[in-house]
Structure 1
Amino acid sequence: MTQVGGRWRVSRPWPAQLRPIVHSYAGYWEAAASPYRVRLVPTGRAVVVISLGEPFAQIRRRLGDASPNSQVTGSLVAGLEDGPRVCDHPGGQEAIRLELTPLGAYRLFALPMSELTNRVVELRDVLGPEAAMLVEQLAATSDWGARFDLLDRALAARLEHGPRPAPEVSHAWRLLCRAGGAIPVGRIAAEVGWSQGYLVRRFTEQVGLTPKMSARVLRFHRAMSLLTGERAHLTEVAAACGFYDQAHLNREFRALAETTPGQLAAARVAEGALALSGAGPPSS
């Protein structure tokens, strides 16, 4: 159990069955209710937030966005993104947050990940009517260990019946991750034995982003991780992550996160969230 800003975070090792598909797994609650706004930047992961307290007031792709994704949202699923989204919360948050690999989410959600790209939808729209029952059970249970037990069983049951990603798509995703996005799509296609066009279609369906955009997001995420470390230098980060130069690095940060590398390095960043106002990073 740790404190993150004005919020408490509790986690535990997740079961072996879930380890290949889960990046992070934690519960959050606020010691004191404080409104906040954050910008969430692309991470190459899908997110599930099970809201046990106050829901988000707004979730939108841009500060001026008035799309349907701006409605009050309770428990939610967020697909992979190729740009930032802004979240407003009124305070009083209590939630469980999961970060999933895109292919793990494909198995768990049992639908094409391309249908969730750049979207935030209600949990029940993905998991069906049983989602409401699960949220009620979790909210009625005050012990975090018991909550995690309930959630583990529900996730394991869905995984048993979920679709298996194509081995070629799984291999393509591994290649991209190992290279931090710094690998040509043509080389990936040659290694998996598919034409480039066929790889793009199948990969996009099961991951949610094209291989090229996935590479950009993974490269950006690696650069972001390096920049938030100690004694990071922009020129060194640009070279290490496969950017042509520092100008290229700057352009990608503007395109994917609407910020600069310097601003991000100076910001408070937790789980892909940059605090814009209020207390600090949320659990989504």
Structure 2
Amino acid sequence: MQVAWVGSRRRVTRPRHPGLRPFVHSYAGYWAPKALPYRVRLIPTGRAVVVLNIAEPFAEVYRLGEQAGGRTPVGSLVAGLEDGPRVCAHPGGQEAIRLELTPLGAYRLFSLPMNELTNKVVELEDVLGPMADELMERLAGTQDWAARFDLVDAILLARLERGPTPAPEVAQACRLLSEAAGGIRVARLAADVGWSQGHLVRRFIEQVGLTPKAFARVLRFHRAAGMLSGNGVDLNEVAVTCGFYDQAHLNRDLRALAGITPGQLAAAYWVDGAVII
């Protein structure tokens, strides 16, 4: 296992179980030696997220612009695919495991239409039912991170085995979009998988959570965000490389999906789709 500092928290990782690699993009454990509060901005990644909060819950998790009434404490959570920024605040003393799932991995794991989770955060028990409480009790009952990861692996593998199988055409469309970082038009995508555009859009929304066009936009944005994390990056070069019409198009999409400018994103420290603010 590897351990590193991320802000005021320690981050522990290990290679994913081979059976999880097609479905789980990454997972990591976090704990804070000191109870220091933090606030991050979550930017779209094209993946679903599960956070297993073993200790203190989040103080609030909300989308930018959301009414204050929706900002309630959140314990362990499930977040579907997003097409905009979200803010996450924690009072300090976090101890948690965070998983990033591929869209179709989330579809199999959650066993429900992914559009029901689009741009939403729900409590873990709303998706897993009584299993959620059992899982969290068992995680809290051990202090060993390897044992915790083993437990999570076993739960994931069992649920994935029982989950629904995505349509091969949706899986192919998802793969083509991911390989091209969003650089494929929906008409060509439909032709490649052998479906009409309308049928592709309907099934894609059900099993991924976004339309193919919106998913492509998120993938372009995420590639651009990754390029902007380097020093001395030329914005015009990023725009051209990532398939934007021009720098103005890049600026508009970054403001819409991250709520900040390219310069602010380039100067920020971010990891696992979270920008430290």
User: TM-score, length-normalised on structure 1?
Assistant: 0.95
Is the contact made by 1:269 and 1:275 (CA closer than 8 Å) also made in structure 2? yes
The 1:67/1:114 distance shift into structure 2, 3 A limit, reads farther
Q: Corresponding residue for 1:5?
A: 7
Q: For 1:260 and 1:223, how far apart are their aligned partners in 2?
A: 12
CA shift at 1:230, angstroms? Answer: 3.2
| Root-mean-square deviation over aligned CA pairs | 0.9
Instruction: Tell me the SS of whatever aligns to 2:220.
Output: helix
CA shift at 1:66, angstroms? Answer: 2.5
CA shift at 1:23, angstroms? Answer: 1.1
Aligned residue runs from structure 1 range 132-171, under 5 A: 132-171=133-172
Q: Corresponding residue for 2:48?
A: 46
Q: For 1:218 and 1:66, how far apart are their aligned partners in 2?
A: 30
Q: Corresponding residue for 2:240?
A: 239
Q: Corresponding residue for 1:203?
A: 204
Q: Corresponding residue for 2:95?
A: 94
Gapped regions of structure 1 (runs ≥ 5): 277-284
Amino acid paired to 2:40: V
Q: For 2:270 and 2:17, how far apart are their aligned partners in 1?
A: 27
Is the contact made by 1:60 and 1:67 (CA closer than 8 Å) also made in structure 2? no
Amino acid paired to 1:149: D
Which digits, 9 at most, give the CA deviation of each residue in 1:134-158, with x for residues without a partner? 1100011110111111111111110
Q: Corresponding residue for 1:279?
A: none
The 1:138/1:178 distance shift into structure 2, 3 A limit, reads same
* Identical aligned residues as a percent: 68
Q: For 1:261 and 1:166, how far apart are their aligned partners in 2?
A: 37
Aligned residue runs from structure 1 range 53-92, under 5 A: 53-62=55-64, 65-68=67-70, 70-92=71-93
Count of residues in Structure 1 that have an aligned counterpart in Structure 2: 275
CA shift at 1:67, angstroms? Answer: 4.9
Gapped regions of structure 2 (runs ≥ 5): none
**2:22 is aligned with 1:20:** yes
Is the contact made by 1:75 and 1:123 (CA closer than 8 Å) also made in structure 2? yes
Instruction: Tell me the SS of whatever aligns to 1:17.
Output: helix
Instruction: Tell me the SS of whatever aligns to 1:25.
Output: strand
CA shift at 1:65, angstroms? Answer: 2.6
- Runs of at least 4 residues of structure 1 off by over 3 A? none
Aligned residue runs from structure 1 range 119-138, under 5 A: 119-138=120-139
Q: For 1:49 and 1:212, how far apart are their aligned partners in 2?
A: 27
Aligned residue runs from structure 1 range 168-207, under 5 A: 168-207=169-208
Amino acid paired to 1:46: A
Q: For 1:141 and 1:269, how far apart are their aligned partners in 2?
A: 29
CA shift at 1:64, angstroms? Answer: 5.1
Instruction: Tell me the SS of whatever aligns to 2:87.
Output: strand
Which digits, 9 at most, give the CA deviation of each residue in 1:129-183, with x for residues without a partner? 0111011000111101111111111111101100000000000001100111011
Is the contact made by 1:63 and 1:86 (CA closer than 8 Å) also made in structure 2? no
Instruction: Give the number of the structure with larger relative contact order, counting CA–CA contacts within 8 Å between residues 6 or more apart.
Output: 1
CA shift at 1:3, angstroms? Answer: 1.1
CA shift at 1:97, angstroms? Answer: 0.4
Q: For 1:34 and 1:55, how far apart are their aligned partners in 2?
A: 13
CA shift at 1:80, angstroms? Answer: 0.3
CA shift at 1:19, angstroms? Answer: 0.6
Amino acid paired to 2:51: V
